[in-house]
Amino acid sequence: MSIYQENYTVYQPALQLPLSIVYEDAIPQNDISRTVKEVVERINIKKYIDISARNSYGYNARKMFECVLLAFALHGYASTRQLADYCRNDIRFMFIMNGFKPSHMAFHRFIKDDLKYGIEDIFIDINQIIAERDSIDTSVLYLDGTKYEANANKMTFVWLKSSKKYRESCLKKLILLVEEINDYFTKNNIKRRFSRLCLESEKLIKFESTLLTEMNNRGIKIVSGKGCRKHQLQRYLEQIQEIRKKLEKYESHFKIAKGRNSFSKIDHDATFMHMKYDYYNHTNVFKPGYNLQVGSSDGYIRHLYISSDANDVNTFIPFIKEYFEAYGKYPAKVPADAGYGSFDNYKFCKEHGIELFMKYNTYAKEKEPINDKNQFRNYRIKPDENGKIICPGGHEFELEREYQQTDGVYERSNKLYRNHNCESCPLRSKCTKAKNGRTLIVNEELIGFQKEVKQNLSTDEGKELMKQRSVQAEGIFGQLKQDKEYDRLWRRGLSNVRLELYLVAIGHNIRKLSTRKVFLDTSYQN
């Protein structure tokens, strides 16, 4: 017997399993997504991120953090829209998010509200976990720097020298204008006088209000447009207002610059620096950027220092101080190129037990053979074993005076030598143009530091360290800029740039650990 029923819909019950279980077999055991989960699970993430459900993005904070790290580890950099797209289409992100698909605004709020202020501590914790998982020689810290172009147009520069020049010009115009206004008041029997020292913004505002009061007392109305003749007092008022606005603009430039020589109108923390590559016309021009210092050990990024200083030599001491605050100890050796060699940096290393493996600016030139061009350079004319300084012409320099130099981090004792035999020397035209004889400034302590550097770098250990510095420190920049095509910043402002670069560094370290993990697991099994 057959039973027929109208409007019958077949319903087949199914067991709804979490997608993380469904994708468990689809994700290989050595996949980088599992490395991300392993690292994040060992972090006490409650210290840095609100993991409660009552957050601004509405998803599990740990899973959101794992997605961000996985994206940066895979691609070098990922925007919030790319993160949202990965959660929809990439099985590894589906595995982490358990099938949930956060929007790009959810990732934006997560990064902005929770991740921004604790990223440096998270970076240090992850490095500690990596150091426990992999054998890293942290006694050697390879240091190198690079410049990253800021997210700002290169034509948005503000040069402080120009602002200073324009400000002085405005002040001169203001003084002349005040004298002209006083002469006008005298001719028209107005019993008011203004001081030529009213150069501050507040005094100029009072100046303007005084002119307005005088115009109101005389029944003078402010007019504008064609066919309206302006009164002389109105012209003076408009000139004062124009000068005041310009002076306020230049004063704001000095406040924004904070001692720098330039900044960008779009990103105030970015400084104009020389870049190696220019995509406009392939020339070496100034572009807004940040100076990134990276310290690495065995291919892992151990510390970052981001600044607006275009010179590497000034970043060494704050970099090492931050490293000490992060890990509680100083590295034993810091191999670096000639951009970091200076008296202050050498002195700092000697005080904190760091061996000198940093080249100085004339290290390579001293190895060149002596010829007619370089024999007159200062680095060729140094005290001999007896402390005497002999010039290429065979004349001895005489000590003129000793003085203390205090413009650096450490006070240094310098000696000023002068050669009194230059007048009759046949090599004078090639050696110096000084009228009273050539002078030399000698710092014996710095010469001792440089001798120690040369001795350390001439050993087999020193040669190997400098070779590894080129491979590891510069290799990291090659991986980020060339392999991952991360050669320009996306965020603006120093705090946001710091967040971005720390995420990039964490991604690099996890990618390195994932590669090493296969080798470590194989070695452990063997």
Q: Contact, 466 vs 355, CB < 8 A?
A: no
Give the range with max mean pLDDT: 48-62, 119-133, 206-220, 419-433. 119-133
The CB-side HSE value for 25 (13 A sphere, CA atoms) comes to 1
Which H or E run contains 411? none
Average pLDDT, the chain: 86
Q: How far apart are CA 278 and CA 493, in angstroms?
A: 22
- 334 class by beta-carbon count within 10 Å (0-12 exposed, 13-18 middle, 19+ buried): buried
pLDDT band at residue 7 under the 50/70/90 scheme: low
What are the φ and ψ backbone dihedral angles of 5, each rounded to 5 degrees?
-140, 130
Q: How do the domains of the chain map onto residue ranges?
A: 19-136+502-525, 160-263
Q: How far apart are CA 341 and CA 362, in angstroms?
A: 10
Q: pLDDT tens across 100-124, in order?
A: 899 999 999 999 888 888 899 999 9
Q: pLDDT tens across 293-334, in order?
A: 999 999 999 999 999 988 899 999 999 999 999 999 999 999
The pairing of strands 300-307 and 398-405 is unpaired
pLDDT band at residue 526 under the 50/70/90 scheme: very low
Q: CB-based contacts of 151: which residues, under 8 Å, 6+ apart? A: 266, 267, 488, 489, 490, 491, 492
pLDDT at residue 151 tops 80: yes
